[in-house]
Amino acid sequence: MRRVPVARHLAATGIADEEDVLVATIEGLLDRRVKGAAGGLWDLTAPLPSLSRIFEGRVSPRMALLLAKALDVPPGGTVLLAGDPLVFVAAALLSLPETHRPSQVVVVSAHPARAMRSAERMGRDIADHPDLVVLDLHAMGLLRPRVEVRGGEGPKSDNKTPAIFPRDGFDRTLLYGGSWSPHTADAYTAPDGRAVLADPTPGKLRFVQRIRVKGDTAEVDLVRHRFATDVTPPASEGPLVEPVKRMRMSGTRVGRILLAEHLLAHVWHDAEGSRMEQGVRKVVEETFSGNDYAHALDPRRYALARRLFHLAYMEQSVGDLVAAEALYRASLSVCETAEGWTFYGWVRSMRGALDEAIDACRRAIMVDPMFGNPYNDIGAYLLERGDRDSSKTWFHRAAAAPRYAAPYYPFLNLGRVYLSEGDLEAARGAVQRALEVAPGYPPAERLLQEIEARESHDPHAR
């Protein structure tokens, strides 16, 4: 499989197109700085979230693009990036062409030494950039700020505000992670500036843009697509109208990107995570369980392929089929697995490409003829096309497969086919087989009730 350009992956997020100057800058930065650290993975089709493991603190280029686009930094503007970890965002901004580049980027981190190491990995020209400043967040008191805004006097913070801070505040302020308040954002943002408050933590997802123009303030919650209740929306006329229209980023999947950022980091670092994450992990483990061909593969490549599969299924679980497909392709590029081909085919089918889905399942069978999933899936795709006779053949082959984590599926599918043909006796037999394998399985119980209801209305039913 050929490597998909980085710009295309970034554009697939819906945040920016391939020609965007930020997209080109991030692609160039990755190509120069990250290629070696990513190893062989860089030459594959993996989308950018899969590279998050090499960014200390787990902010991917995809997230960096989202944050930078939301900030919309003016040329020559000043930028405050507070929270961890935001060095890659700073590197992207400082790598912009001179006509788009900010004049100052201040990174305030709870782990300044780690932030500087991240900057050094981006290159000495980033770490030593004259317009980059890294400060200790704890020393500044920003974790528990006691700030107030006094007319015309600029930001205050218990006299701890560094002299390098602009007197009237930053043109753009990003507060990432944690429970930053709008008051903190206002305290460090210029009267005509913009602030972004973002938190990717599940249950606390937040991505708020706060814009100030001539003393008026508007706030848009991009996760919930609404104005915040404590801020008056702009009227049909006034200084906020056009800026607010520009900052809405309509069409971007902000909430999904935030959630995926957190979940993918957990996959890379083997974190247990939420019940949903545990469910995804269980499916992956059960799917790969018991295969006999893995021992003949390179163990490192097989492990990486499986990890990429896990990432892909996580993306699929949160509904990002484009990213999921690219990650399945990456997994297969590292090492062909029956599991990878089958799930890749599943995503292709969800995107309407049934021919490709069937072909992927046939390739899965070539890798491991003992694996039941692809037989069942081919049957399902043929059934979707209306070819019931052929689908039954494949469901029977799936039911006979030695390795299948969900062997009740083909029996249930056979029951549905027989019921659609009016063969109630065969349908009942297939569903009962499904219930023998998975007692109490709700879809099988419901189908059995439907069969019994049909029988009660048709005494001559077979």
Q: Tell me the per-residue pLDDT of 397-446, one tens digit each, with 9 for 90 and over.
A: 999 999 998 999 999 999 999 999 999 999 999 999 999 999 999 999 99
10 Å CB burial of residue 263 (0-12, 13-18, 19+) is buried
Tell me, yes or no, whether 124 and 43 share the same domain. yes
Determine contact, residues 334/44, Cβ cutoff 8 Å. yes
Domain count, the chain: 2
10 Å CB burial of residue 215 (0-12, 13-18, 19+) is exposed
pLDDT at residue number 104: 95
| pLDDT surpassing 90 at residue 322 | no
pLDDT at residue number 79: 96
Distance (Å, whole) CA 335 – CA 293: 12
Tell me, yes or no, whether 177 and 269 share the same domain. no
Q: Is residue 232 part of a domain?
A: no
Tell me, yes or no, whether 322 and 448 share the same domain. yes
Return the minimum-mean-pLDDT range out of 78-92, 212-226, 282-296, 373-387: 212-226
Q: Which domain holds residue 181?
A: 6-200
Tell me, yes or no, whether 145 and 18 share the same domain. yes
pTM of the model: 0.74
pLDDT per residue over 52-67, tens digit each?
A: 444 444 567 778 888 8
| pLDDT surpassing 90 at residue 450 | yes
**Number of other CB atoms surrounding residue 288 within 10 Å:** 20
Q: Is residue 237 part of a domain?
A: no
Mean pLDDT, residues 262-267: 80
pLDDT per residue over 78-127, tens digit each?
A: 999 998 778 889 999 999 999 999 999 999 988 888 888 888 877 888 88
Q: Is residue 462 part of a domain?
A: no
* CATH number of the domain bearing residue 272: 1.25.40.10
